[in-house]
A and B are shown apart, each in its own frame.
Chain A
Amino acid sequence: MLEAQEYVRLQVITARAAVSRPFYFHDVVEQFEQIGIGSLTVVVLTGFFTGAVLALQTGITLDQFGARPFVGRLISASMIKELGPVLTGLMLAGRIGSGIAAELGSMVVTDQINALRALGTDPIRKLVVPRVLAGFFMAPVLTVIANTVGIIGGWLIAVFQLRVASSLYWSSIIEGLYMDDAIMGIVKPFCLGYVIVTIGCHVGLRTTGGTQGVGRATTAAVVAASVAVIAVDFFVTRLMITLLY
C-alpha cells in the first residue's frame, strides 16, 4: 500500500517538475539518445525474429485452410495491435527498467542523490523527468520500428519459405490494416513506456541496503515492469476496444 502511495506521489511530483523550471534540456537529450538509440538493436532484432517466426507458424496453420496467401494480413494485425507494443515493452522493461533502477539505486546507496540535493539540484528534475519524457516519447518510435522490421521479417519468410508472392503479401498487409488498429498500436507504447520508466525510477530511488540492495532493486524493477507491461496492455486494449470498435 505504501509502495503504491509512493509511486503515485513520484508521478505527481514528476508531472509538476516537468512543467516548471529549471528544466535540464541537456539531460533530456541524453536520455532520448540512451533510451531511443541505445535500445534500437534489441528492438530491431526482437521485431525481426518475431515477424519471421509468426510467418512460419501461421503459414503452417493457414495451410490447413488453404489460406496461405493471407499470411501478411495476420502478421500485420498481430504485430501492430499486440506483439509489437508488448514485445518492445518487455524488451524495454529488461533494458531500460533495469538500467534506470540500477543507476538510480547506485546513486542512492553511494549518497550521490544526497550530493545532488546538497548541491542545489532537485533529483526529480535532473534524473526522473528526462527519463520519463524519453521513455514516454521513444517507446512509440521504437514500437513502430519493431513493427516495420517484424513485417519485413515476415515478408522474407513468406516469400522465400512459404513461396507467397511478394505483391500478394504486401497487398494483404494493407488490406488487413485498419486505422483503429494503427491507433491502438500507437497509443499502447506511450502508456507502456511511461509505466516502465516510472517503475524503474521509483524502485531505483527507494533502494536501500548497499550493493545487494541495488541487485534486489534491479530484479524488482524488471519483474514489476514486465508484469505491468502485460497488465497495462490488457487494460489499454480493453479501453481501446470500448472506445474504437
Chain B
Amino acid sequence: MTTQPVTDRQTAVIDAEPPAIVLEHVNLAFDTNVILRDVSFSLLPGHTKIILGASGSGKSTILKLILGLLKPDGGRIYVNGERADTMSERELMAVRADLGMVFQEGALFDSLTVAENVGYKLYEETDLPIAEVRARVEEVLGFVRLEEFIDRRPSELSGGQRRRVAIARAMAAKPGILLYDEATTGLDPITATTIDEEMVKLRDLEGVSSIIVTHQLRDAFFVAEHEAIRERQGFRINRAGAAKADEAEFIMLRDGVVAFEGNAAELRASRDEYIRTFLS
C-alpha cells in the first residue's frame, strides 16, 4: 500500500518520456520466407517488453533488427528517438553504445577471460584507465555474483554462469536498454530464476529498459510479476503489485505477425486458441 503512489508517480514520469525503442510496421523476408510482417510496438524507458512465440516465429530477429545487425525490408525502427534502420554500420556504433545484448548461448569470446569478456567494450572502445575498467568489471561481476570467476575462461564455466557473464558484459558499459535473447533457455529452473532475478534487478534498481525474447513462460511471468527493492543490506525480490506488473507488456508472435499485445493478466485471460495452447 505504501509503495503504490510512488510507483504510479514514477510511471507517470516515465510515460512522459519518449519511448526507448519504437518499431513501426516492420517487415522482413529472406527470399520468399516471410520472417516478420507489419510488426509495430514501442518500449518505454525503464519498462520491460516480453516477446513470446514458438521457435522460428521471428522473436530473435526483432532484437537483431533493433541492434542493426539486420536491415528491415520495410518499416521504421527508432532507438532513443533516432531512426536506426537507415543508418550505416559506422553510424550504428553510436546507437549501440546505449544498447546491450545477451545472446542466446552467451556468445562469449572463447579466447578471452571472464574479466576481458565483461570489460571488452570498456577496454577496446573507450579510453578509460585499466584500473577503472577493472573496478567496473569487478562491480558488475559482483552484481551477477560471479566475482570469484573473474580470471577463468568461458570454457570453465557452466551454462548458467556463462549466461550471467553475458549479462555482466552487456551491462558493463551501463547501457540504457538491454536485449535478452532466450537468456534462460536450456537452464535448470534454479539457475533460470537467478537469471530472471538479474533481469528484474537491472530493470528496477538500475532503471534499464529491456526487451526479453523467450518461449519460457515461467521466466516471462516471473520477470513481469516481480520487482526488486533496494534495502540497506542489498536488495529483495518481491511479488510486484498490480500496477507494477501492468508495466511489463507481452507480445506474442505467430509466424512473424503480432498475435497478441497486452499485460500478463490480459495474456492469461486471452481466449485465443493459439495463445491458450501456448500457455497450456
Residues of A near any B CB (own CB < 8 A): 22, 24, 106, 110-112, 114-115, 117-122, 126
Given contacts A115-B101, A118-B96, A118-B101, contact A110 B107 (CB under 8 A): yes
B89 at the interface (CB under 8 A from A): yes
Q: What are 23 contact pairs spanning A and B, CB under 8 A?
A: A24-B124, A110-B107, A111-B104, A112-B109, A114-B64, A114-B69, A114-B103, A114-B107, A115-B108, A117-B67, A117-B68, A117-B89, A118-B100, A119-B124, A119-B125, A120-B97, A120-B121, A120-B125, A121-B120, A121-B121, A121-B125, A122-B90, A126-B124
Interface of chain B residues 99 through 150 with chain A (CB within 8 A): 99-101, 103-105, 107-110, 120-121, 124-125
Interface centre among A111, A117, A118 (most CB of B within 10 A): A118
Q: Which residues of B contact A121 (CB under 8 A)?
A: 120-121, 124-125
Q: Which residues of B contact A117 (CB under 8 A)?
A: 67-69, 89, 96
Q: Which residues of A contact B54 (CB under 8 A)?
A: none
Interface of chain B residues 64 through 78 with chain A (CB within 8 A): 64, 67-69
Q: Which residues of B contact A120 (CB under 8 A)?
A: 93, 96-97, 121, 125
Chain B, interface residues (CB within 8 Å), range: 20 to 34
Q: Which residues of A contact B101 (CB under 8 A)?
A: 115, 118
Q: Which residues of B contact A118 (CB under 8 A)?
A: 67, 69, 96, 99-101, 103
Given contacts A120-B96, A120-B97, contact A111 B67 (CB under 8 A): no
Question: How close is A108's CB to chain B, nearest CB, in angstroms?
Answer: 11
Question: How close is A114's CB to chain B, nearest CB, in angstroms?
Answer: 5
Q: CA A119 – CA B112 in complex, angstroms?
A: 15
Q: Which residues of B contact A111 (CB under 8 A)?
A: 103-105, 107
Q: CA A210 – CA B115 in complex, angstroms?
A: 27
What is the 8 Å Cβ interface bit string for chain B, positions 84-102, against chain A (1 contact, 0 not)? 0000011001001101110
Question: How close is A65's CB to chain B, nearest CB, in angstroms?
Answer: 56
Question: Which A residue sits closest to B101, measured CB to CB?
Answer: A118
Q: Which residues of B contact A22 (CB under 8 A)?
A: 125
Identify A115's interface contact among B68, B89, B97, B107, CB under 8 A: B107
Nearest 7 Cβ contacts at the A-B interface = A111-B107, A115-B107, A118-B101, A111-B103, A119-B121, A120-B125, A120-B93
Q: Which residues of A contact B67 (CB under 8 A)?
A: 114, 117-118
Interface centre among B68, B93, B104, B107 (most CB of A within 10 A): B107
Question: How close is A25's CB to chain B, nearest CB, in angstroms?
Answer: 12
Contacts A117-B68, A118-B103 known; 11 new A-B pairs at CB < 8 A: A24-B124, A111-B107, A112-B107, A112-B108, A115-B103, A115-B109, A117-B89, A118-B96, A118-B101, A119-B124, A120-B125
Q: CA A42 – CA B213 in complex, angstroms?
A: 48
Q: Which residues of A contact B90 (CB under 8 A)?
A: 122
Q: CA A110 – CA B89 in complex, angstroms?
A: 21
Q: CA A22 – CA B125 in complex, angstroms?
A: 9
Q: Which residues of B contact A110 (CB under 8 A)?
A: 105, 107
CB of B105 within 8 A of CB of A119, answer no
Question: How close is A30's CB to chain B, nearest CB, in angstroms?
Answer: 10
